[in-house]
Chains A and B, each alone.
Chain A
């Protein structure tokens, strides 16, 4: 009996256990979505698009703090990063980018979404326009770093014939890539929404802002590239002929004026009572921000947070045992003008004697509000906690000042003068302590993008302040630069004066005061820590002059302020000292010294070969049609 049962059971299994072969092999997967499923659901298409947004190319950004310390804007106050101020040359393969994986995904999206007839036409059109904007953005980034690259607008397929030569494409001209970006923006701007409240997805206004920026880059490469003839290739893959400059400047101005004329955006002025706070709030206030055009957004408790505040928080108010990494340089700080429109270094000395300040903040008084809005200064507060930035005590003994300092945050020591307290603090809780990581080794901390919310400095919470990629102030600066280059300094000054008025200046610049140096200056002070400096210096062909490898002295740092081609190869700091001299009227006052942190040992040198990064030898040998970039 048992035997029969077994036989019958086995027979049943044999007959019914196996499905037909073709059905077995065509079971729908349970762990991934198929093309068919995705391209009929707007929600799923949006999530595909979200991934493409997430791969938007960046160089300096708040999620990659150390990149801000490569040049002269800031010093890296972390022990593993001092090499950045110790290296002379920038490797030629730095900043190189050859992201055809991303470009292919964007091309696939454009192709498949255009064919997705089950989506509503307007929804589909918006998705496609967004992907085309992202594709233009990556090509813009490619051309900024590499010059002309192969312009691939269709997803390419390999036919396994053993001969891949039909997939190999030569590099386009540098101007062709810029033309592509400009024309793409023209064709998608009518499709994208006009709602200025959309900040993290593409809008018509982002398309115009990107067009303005790209045209400005192309124009300045055409104009200033003439000064560096060796940075060009005979085929035009690098370099744009000078006669194209005017047309590009006109495009840049026109696109910017469309945004300005629309009235959809304005400069952030919600906190007019405190202009420094206003400038800082422009970056962290995400509610109805009238200035931000496009940002990478973050959200608390969602897994997508950023740690800019965590890595840069001052020690005095730190919520973890870390912070203080990005230390803005004195080189940057003294660019901010006095409110009477004059450049002036911070006054440290008066003849042979120091200048004594009652309050540590007094030395910074009467300046462009963007100084305090961009940089956390000694004597100010962050998160309501007063900063404690001072390098030591200067005490009077034997007819001269002697210095005593500590080697840890807020160290106590006894000042070796009769009558001094047995133990007193000899260095600030925030530093600066030379060589001590997380202390303000230049005497400053960064303020831009810092989140004043409680918890933003905690590893477990972090911050949801967004990374602003395009904002209205840059549009004004683009317009100002293009107008100036087109011989309309009067128009240029009206744009620049809007920014300066917001920064607290009461006397507008006149038409005659607008110069190339002024344009460069306004971009540097307004857009510091927003990832513009290197690319601006590249397109103006200033980089090899500004970072020329020559050592600079403290005297060099404080002179020639406001000159576009001022040498800025080494980072300096400004350290405050407390005076201990009982019986003197100066007792308890503050003096300042210009100091070079000891970890700044090398002068940066930007070679001609750095203007356009090296294309890797693997890429070159895979595609013999590519030409190498000049000088590397």
Chain B
């Protein structure tokens, strides 16, 4: 008798929870922030854009973070969205949308979708090369192409070469860096930087020796908070 009671309770417990009212969001919106199809690389965690889904009671943006390599992804419900890149975000300006005649882009999500977002970066880092010379120095070279040349053009404040132990390399995550002031750049098509490899690569608290580093070139544009980056490159030290 007691056993039956226990089993009944168990079965009842197992079936007592009903499904949620809502399906979890399942449509994946993903892609890259690009300029003419080339991803714009940024620092980690710093650049976001906003998705708004109008029609609900209160307004609130879904903030979508852009990864270091310019990619992004968001899991969404199907529906009509408005996409906006806030003016303070990223080393770029948003392109006026042909449909809305503003910085707002209309977007329909119906199932997963790949979409690249075109922007106007102030600059692009082209032909970035980073390589080890000898055992102590990493040399880099790149070409800075000025994309925005009209009234909104901005100068380069400085160029940095960062090294880090992990593949997250940016202005707050580095173990060594060197810099070059924008005013010292004589030929933007030929920017050279070199940085000394620190004695201990595992500098950020983790132990164990590591025989490779990650390097990246960053460009600080004057008056723009977020830096523009080249692609992360792994460099073997042995």
Contact = CB atoms under 8 A, between A and B. Distances in A.
B60 A632 contact: no
A618 interface: yes
Tell me what chain A mostly uses at the interface: helix, strand, loop, or mixed. Answer: loop
Given A229-B223, A550-B171, A608 B88 contact: yes
Interface in B172-188: 172, 174
Contact of A617 (B59, B86, B224): B59
B145 interface: no
A198 to B, nearest CB: 46
Nearest to A609: B88
Contact of B225 (A88, A551, A607, A621): A607
B59 A620 contact: yes
B60 A617 contact: yes
Contacts of A602: 172
Given A88-B172, A229-B223, A607-B225, A630 B88 contact: yes
Interface of B: 58-61, 86, 88, 171-172, 174, 205, 223-225
Contacts of A591: none
Contacts of B59: 617, 620-621
A551 to B, nearest CB: 8
Contacts of B225: 230, 607-608, 631
B223 A230 contact: yes
Contacts of A229: 223
Contacts of B61: 617
A217 to B, nearest CB: 23
A601 interface: yes
6 contacts: A230-B223, A230-B224, A605-B172, A609-B88, A620-B59, A632-B88
A86 B34 CA distance: 33
Given A549-B172, A601-B205, A621 B88 contact: no
A551, A618, A630, most chain B CB atoms within 10 A:
A551
Nearest to B56: A621
Nearest to B173: A88
Contacts of A292: none
Contacts of A88: 172
A494 B152 CA distance: 46
A202 interface: no
A479 interface: no
B172 A617 contact: no
A550 B205 CA distance: 17
Nearest to B175: A551
Interface of A: 88, 229-230, 549-551, 601-603, 605, 607-609, 617-618, 620-621, 630-632
Contacts of B88: 230, 608-609, 630-632
Contacts of A549: 171-172
B172 A621 contact: no
Contacts of A550: 171-172
Given A230-B223, A230-B224, A618-B58, 18 more contacts: A229-B223, A230-B225, A549-B171, A549-B172, A550-B171, A550-B172, A601-B205, A602-B172, A603-B172, A609-B88, A617-B58, A617-B59, A617-B60, A617-B61, A621-B59, A621-B60, A631-B88, A632-B88
B49 to A, nearest CB: 13
B178 to A, nearest CB: 13
A563 to B, nearest CB: 18
A630 B223 CA distance: 14
A630 B171 CA distance: 22
A632 B63 CA distance: 11
B58, B171, B172, B205, most chain A CB atoms within 10 A:
B172
A550 B175 CA distance: 11
A618 B58 CA distance: 7
Nearest to B172: A549
Nearest to A618: B58
A229 B60 CA distance: 27
B165 to A, nearest CB: 13
Contacts of A609: 88
A59 B60 CA distance: 27
A631 B46 CA distance: 12
A229 B59 CA distance: 28
A11 to B, nearest CB: 57
A120 B6 CA distance: 77
Nearest to A620: B59
Nearest to B225: A608
8 pairs of A and B residues whose beta carbons are closest in the complex:
A631-B88, A621-B59, A617-B60, A621-B58, A549-B172, A608-B225, A88-B172, A549-B171
A605 B174 CA distance: 15
A85 B58 CA distance: 35
Contacts of A617: 58-61
Nearest to A631: B88
A620 B172 CA distance: 32
Contacts of B86: 631
B70 to A, nearest CB: 20
Contacts of A603: 172
Nearest to B45: A89
A358 B86 CA distance: 60
A184 B17 CA distance: 61
Nearest to A544: B225
Contacts of B174: 551
Contacts of A607: 225
A443 to B, nearest CB: 22
A164 to B, nearest CB: 14
A229 B86 CA distance: 16
A617 B205 CA distance: 38
